[in-house]
Amino acid sequence: MQITILAIESSCDDTSAAVIQDSKIRSNIVANQEVHKEYGGVVPELASRAHQQHIIPVVDQALKVAGVRPDELSAIACTRGPGLLGSLLVGVSFAKAMALALDIPLIDVHHMKAHILAHFIEPPVPSFPFLCLTVSGGHTQLLRVDAPLQMTVLGETLDDAVGEAFDKTAKLLGLPYPGGPLIDRYARQGNPQAFSFPIPQVEGLHFSFSGLKTSILHFLQKQSRQDRQFIEKHLPDICASVQHTFVQILIQKLEQAVKQTGITEVGIAGGVSANSALRAALQQKAEQAGWRVFIPAMQYCTDNAAMIAMAAHYQYMEGKFASLQMHATARWSI
């Protein structure tokens, strides 16, 4: 019998629903929230309210596109955490209510594990074991993946996520939220060697971006005292140099992880994997050092329910279900 699962993602500011049949994604609908743009970051209370507005139409459309009726579903999956509690609650409550009404199992998915399992939505897929670097607005983690549901965190950020560092730097430069893609765009016309910023020395395979953010702030303040138009005049060079530093930090840690583990299959996931300099640097590594590099299609890199559905598929196969007493969990380690 075919296994059909409806999956819901609502951990941050995207409301998404997807349908998976066996291991094939049949639909993946995402509603973005525009409300946060003017605030320079995600406002949790507004995110939660927008999820409530979006969830029914998004689920409805996911079922419609997949051509699946609710009574054909084998299970309902949702992101249990980590994420913003008010946002998670919307998806978790909705999923529980639907599982109860249809009398089918509930599956609770870990958002970060799902980012990694996004690599299995479409070929080419990495083989086990592989290393995965998850880079987004909320996460920076380096993992060793031995099986779909067996992964170990090798290192993670001790403070800001790399996407957050991109966005905060963009804010210092007067660019709107989210600034990561704009830094990428301006950097294309700039010189990555124009300015240099210190690479933080962090033990093991961990990361830290907050000290670097402070040095960027001090650099900009100092330069702007001497020339009030400094940022305006040098925007492409500043963006290229900052981006180069972020990418160097990520690549150096990956090199260290490859050396330490002997694993040369390397995947990246999360919104920052859209960054053109990071992609180019990884591609170069693949050619020079013989790594095999995997980057899921963009729609599966940013937050989406297809990756939740993929994780739910593996959990269903192993009989890993949740009870209706399950709680949304804002902080949840892998």
Tell me the binding residues. 111, 115, 134-138, 167, 180, 184, 275, 303
Longest CA–CA separation in the chain, Å: 71
Q: Cα(292)–Cα(325) distance, rounded to whole angstroms? A: 42
Quick check: 270 binds ligand KG4 (CB under 6 A)? yes
The count of C-alpha atoms lying within 13 angstroms of the C-alpha of 59, restricted to the half-sphere facing its C-beta, is: 23
Quick check: 303 binds Zn ion (CB under 5 A)? yes
- Among the residue ranges 65-73, 145-153, 247-255, 265-273, the one whose residues contact ligand KG4 (CB under 6 A): 265-273
Select the residue interacting with ligand KG4 from 81, 82, 86, 163 (CB under 6 A). 163
Q: How far is the CB of 311 from Zn ion (least distance, A)?
A: 12
Q: Phi, psi at residue 187, to the nearest 5°? A: -60, -25
Q: Is residue 76 a contact partner of residue 8, using CB atoms and an 8 Å limit?
A: yes
Quick check: 294 binds ligand KG4 (CB under 6 A)? no
Closest CA to 131 of 304, 319, 16, 260: 260
**Token output for 104:** 């089918």
Q: Cα(75)–Cα(313) distance, rounded to whole angstroms? A: 10
Select the residue interacting with ligand KG4 from 108, 167, 237, 265 (CB under 6 A). 167
Select the residue interacting with ligand KG4 from 80, 271, 295, 315 (CB under 6 A). 271
Residue list, annotated binding site for Fe cation: 111, 115, 303
Quick check: 207 binds ligand KG4 (CB under 6 A)? no
How do 14-21 and 265-269 pair as beta strands? unpaired
Residue nearer to ligand KG4 on the CB measure, 32 or 256: 32
Contacts with ligand KG4, residue ranges (CB under 6 A): 12, 136-138, 163, 166-167, 178, 180-181, 184, 270-272, 274-275, 302-303
